Amino acid sequence: MKTPLGIILAGGLATRMGGGDKALLDLGGRPLLSRVIERLTPQVADLALNANGEPGRFSEFDLPVLPDTIDGFAGPLAGVLAGLDWAAQQGADTVVSVAADTPFFPHDLVARLTLAARGQDHPLVLATTRRQGDKALKSGGSGAVNRHPTFGLWPVALRDDLRSALEDGLRKVVLWTDRHEGREALFPADPFDPFFNVNTPQDLEAAHKMLEGA
């Protein structure tokens, strides 16, 4: 498999943060988006940002800014579709998505996702972590996990299928990935869940504390 391209999802409305761009919030003297770019860039062949509205507000980051092509803020799958359409233009086979408000995701995200996709005709994998207190998974057995639907490996070959699903009203990520026999890649969550995301002012305070302890 060729090295995937990367798409950072920043197309949401940030309602729990009071609106605006969460990606531009300050964390330790730098925008959240800057930290996300720093983590993802070494893992992918190229990188773009999915965001709606005026693209110029992201000019300092020097990334292609891709708006949703599905109207009405259709959720993360619309951002994934924008990334897949862009990747198709670049001649790429796959895209890895990450959320712009999640600054601590793993440095081996792409490696683990692509490993989990081995043998799939259309590589499609979501990141997961163990739920707190889930003893069944501690020994590698089956059990409940938290799926992180904004962190995944997506096949360009299924972009038209995804477009049709979105146009038909589908919004829930896992309904589409399950339909196509998507897999899961399990990531450790110690000392904290690396997919912790900043949704509220309280989350931003927690992220500052996590950064100090990193």
* Rg for the chain, CA atoms, rounded: 17
> Residue 72 above 90 pLDDT?
no
Using the structure block, give the residue that is written with the tokens 């440095």.
Answer: 107
| Residues found in the chain | 214
Residue 13: per-residue pLDDT: 53
For residue 188, pLDDT over 70 is answered with yes
Residue 9: its H or E element = strand 5-9
Share of the chain above pLDDT 90, in %: 79
pLDDT digits (tens, 9 = 90+) for 23-50: 999 999 999 999 999 999 999 999 999 9
pLDDT at 98 over 50: yes
Q: Which two tokens stand for residue 66?
A: 């891709």
Q: Specify the pLDDT at position 96.
A: 98
Handedness of CA 109, 99, 96, 142 (dihedral sign): positive
**Span 114-173, pLDDT tens digits:** 999 999 999 999 999 987 654 444 434 445 899 999 999 999 999 999 999 999 999 999
Q: What mean pLDDT do residues 7-14 have?
A: 78
Do residues 105 and 196 make contact, with C-beta atoms less than 8 angstroms apart? no
Structural domains in the chain, sorted by start: 5-213 (3.90.550.10)
